[in-house]
Chain A
Amino acid sequence: MEEAVVQTTHVHAPPEGFIRKHVFSLDHKVIGKQYFGLALVAVFMGMALSWLMRFHLVWPNTKVPGLDLLSSTGAPGGVITPEYYLSLMTMHGTLMVFFVLTNAPFAGFGNYFLPIQIGAEDMAFPRFNMMSFWVTFVAFLVLILAFFIPDGPPISGWTAYAPLSAVGKDAGPGLAWGQSLWAISIAIFCVGQLLGSLNFIATTLDLRTKGMTFMRMPICTWAWFITSAIGLLAFAVLLPACLLLLLDRMAGTSFFIPSGLVISDRLQNHAGGSPLLWQHLFWFFGHPEVYIAILPAVGIVSHVLITNMRKPMLSAKVIIYSMMSIGFLSWMVWGHHMFVSGMNPSSSLLFSFPTLTITIPATIITLIWLGSLYGANIQLNSATLFALGFVSMFVSGGVSGFFLAQPSIDIYLHATYFVVGHFHMVMGVAAIFGILSGTYFWFPKMSGRMMNETLGKLHFWITFVGTYCIFMPFHYLGLAGNVRRYSSFVNDFMAPLMPVHKFISIAAFITGAAQFIFLFNLIHSRFRGKQAPENPWNATSLEWSIPSPPPWDNFGGKHPVIYHDPYQYGVKGSKGDFVMQDSPEQV
């Protein structure tokens, strides 16, 4: 096992002045909160977009009052046009996947808690860290700009397949500057992520305090570490892909565009490119990306569950190795998004095997969670409820993966609502539950105040039942062949499915409304919540050994020394049924 490393000092001076303390801060805690705040804005925007989408699908020719003010071309008289629906969908996906699911669980909580959990005063490169947030913020602004340009946001989906995304405005409204802004925004986002990932990796390797061996790091620290390794490699591929796309759009190159294409009655002046090249590049990033979205949540949920079960997992090591296997296998499966894409059908079979194999570590983790619940003493607060809800969602979403992993079944289910149901449950809802669990768990530490438990539980119940009501029916629609990314359902076979869509839309509005309970709770508790003690959950990891909220240098200039792993629960400790990591007492 590795020797514990004596921390070398990478500190910066105490921050002074409003700008240094709260805006251009080098403090990983402030940066973490900034990422979290950005994700919060993005998630409510993404949710509003999904409401517009669900509304349009069920009531297609009804005016949305005021929408024509945002876009008079996209919503003349407040009625959403087909292209505006697609641009709402594109922005929904882009905001959610990049600015919410990559930001909050990884950059948000990871930035805040990774240094603390390993006993460090800050990240290894505080300036890179600050840059990474502000670069991400600029990416966000560039993306949002697309809403305000005359031609509107892009309509090619968050996946931006070429040549639709590459040829420019001939292919339709939204594909002029909107698409270019998208590619520029995502390229900038990649830079932010790369800076962040470098930081996480260097910090985890270099700045662990004395006694903090790798296996004594909490599971969520491991999750952030593994995620940052995946992120470094994945975003390094997306960045050049976006640059190539921009070159095709603006410099007349043809990386993704073959010759002979006639669009809007015009022969396109390109030759030699391959649309499949975009798909390979995108999904080579895109599949690891979904693990970037879920692994931190897996880590957070494990962390929350251990504390609230008052016992360790059956084996934290097994969970950690399983997360590593998932990280490793995630590089081999990207072609499962391309089974019917025109790729060599033998490749499709090859990709299906690692895809099916990834079920094994995912199942191991799930079974460890379930098995660990046996004999536990579960404390059912809001954080725990969302963590348990995560387990349920992870199972539901994962199980639909069995179908999609098989190319023969994918022939029928590809591009239907079955796929949309799968990824929303396993990535959208589950990862959000992980973020929410983390929020309820760590809010006391970050703000020094407790959140309102009653509101938290109410938020949980509506969200848990609500998200099942929204996304489970997507699978049934998919089985009936309901195609995805349609702005209206005008086909013969889709008319009988409209009642299901109505049910989903109504569930979506109710569930979405419940998120305002959370927002209210967040804001109200920040100012009026009960004072939080240092360790409200009687937890063992290092973040609970420092004040709530922590001082700017986390440990007050002291370097903690670690004696235990973070799983000392159900033991006879001096403070109760647990022993903290930095406590020298014997177990």
Chain B
Amino acid sequence: MPTKIGYAAVLVVLAASAIAFAGPSGGSVTGKVTYEGTPAKQKPIDMSKEPSCAQQHPTPITTETVVVGPGNTLQNVVVYISAGAPDESSAPPQAVTITQKGCQYLPHVVPMVVNQELKVVNADQTSHNIHPLAKINHEWNKSQPPGTPPFSEKFDKPEFIPVKCNVHPWMHSTFVVLKTSRFAVTGETGGFTLPNLPPGKYTVTAWHESYGEQTQDVTIAGSETKSVNFVFKAKPY
């Protein structure tokens, strides 16, 4: 009957499209980052010198050099493909944003691709002065009075750039400028996923601001998901 053939044809077309339009080949690396040992104690931050920020934290926030989650997971680890992926021809069009709020940098670690737009927002009532301490990239230092619009910058070379606020010494962050857009930052679960990897051999690097870097090689065949875990050694000091 024309209807039955019609349905079958539609199904075949749909299935073929699903296969054809499934996007780039679907291999991925996922994993978890954990620590062993005792991490350094995070200290509460006394913001009394900046009352408009202190007010926003009835319970003071703590330092963020080592942020952990349940099950010994490690947060703020940047996991990325450091070798094996083709170079990106251009930076992603969307901007990455760093917000200064409550005298804190949000997020604490900001990965971005070389030449990707970085938008800096001051959501506080006080002036901030954002100072990325770049050694390879051009070092700049900009004040942002309260109520002024966000400004944009970009970095044209890969680098791990510590960022400080000249006015509020406790504010620290890191700009992680990478050649690749294949990166993830671990959250509370310590987990990460790097999807859409064509078959091939890759080096995965995990970077933590206090514990340094670790790398592992992984080979993806077809569209498998490989599991790569990292364990960092924590020290109390």
Contacts and interface: CB of A to CB of B under 8 A. Distances in A.
Nearest to A63: B148
A83 B148 CA distance: 15
B143 A82 contact: yes
A490 B49 CA distance: 10
A264 B166 contact: yes
Contacts of A173: 141, 143
B143 A490 contact: no
A77 B148 contact: yes
Interface in A330-375: none
B164 interface: yes
Contact of A79 (B145, B162, B164, B166): B145
B206 to A, nearest CB: 24
B147 A264 contact: no
A213 interface: no
Contact of A172 (B127, B149, B162, B166): B166
B133 interface: yes
Interface centre among B131, B141, B145, B147 (most CB of A within 10 A): B145
A172 B129 CA distance: 10
Contacts of A274: none
A490 B51 CA distance: 10
B146 A76 contact: no
A73 B162 CA distance: 21
Interface in A62-98: 73, 76-77, 79-84
Given A61-B146, A61-B147, A76-B148, A81 B164 contact: no
A265 interface: yes
Measured as residues with beta carbon below 8 angstroms from the partner, the interface class of chain A is: 10 to 19
B126 interface: yes
A264 B126 contact: no
Contacts of B133: 264-266
A73 B148 CA distance: 12
Nearest to B151: A76
Interface in B124-182: 126-127, 129, 131, 133, 141-149, 151, 162, 164, 166-167
A50 B146 CA distance: 23
A83 B141 CA distance: 11
A77 B143 CA distance: 12
A60 interface: yes
B148 A172 contact: no
Interface string A148-172: 0000000000000000000000001
Contacts of A79: 145, 147-148
A270 B162 CA distance: 23
Nearest to B147: A61
A264 B164 contact: yes
B19 to A, nearest CB: 52
Contact of B149 (A77, A84, A264, A488): A77
Nearest to B145: A79
Contact of A265 (B126, B143, B149, B162): B162
Nearest to A84: B143
A73 to B, nearest CB: 7
Contacts of A60: 145
Given A82-B127, A265-B133, A76 B164 contact: no
A81 B141 CA distance: 12
B143 A83 contact: yes
Contacts of A172: 141, 166
A177 to B, nearest CB: 14
A172 B139 CA distance: 12
A81 B149 contact: no
B143 to A, nearest CB: 4
Contact of A81 (B126, B143, B147): B143
Contacts of A77: 148-149
Contact of B126 (A73, A83, A84, A490): A490
5 contacts: A61-B145, A77-B148, A264-B133, A264-B166, A265-B164
Given A61-B148, A79-B148, A265-B162, 12 more contacts: A61-B145, A73-B142, A76-B142, A76-B144, A76-B151, A79-B147, A81-B145, A82-B129, A82-B145, A83-B129, A264-B131, A490-B126
Interface of B: 126-127, 129, 131, 133, 141-149, 151, 162, 164, 166-167
Instruction: Pick the 7 closest A-B CB pairs, nearest first.
Output: A81-B143, A79-B145, A61-B147, A79-B148, A77-B148, A173-B141, A76-B148
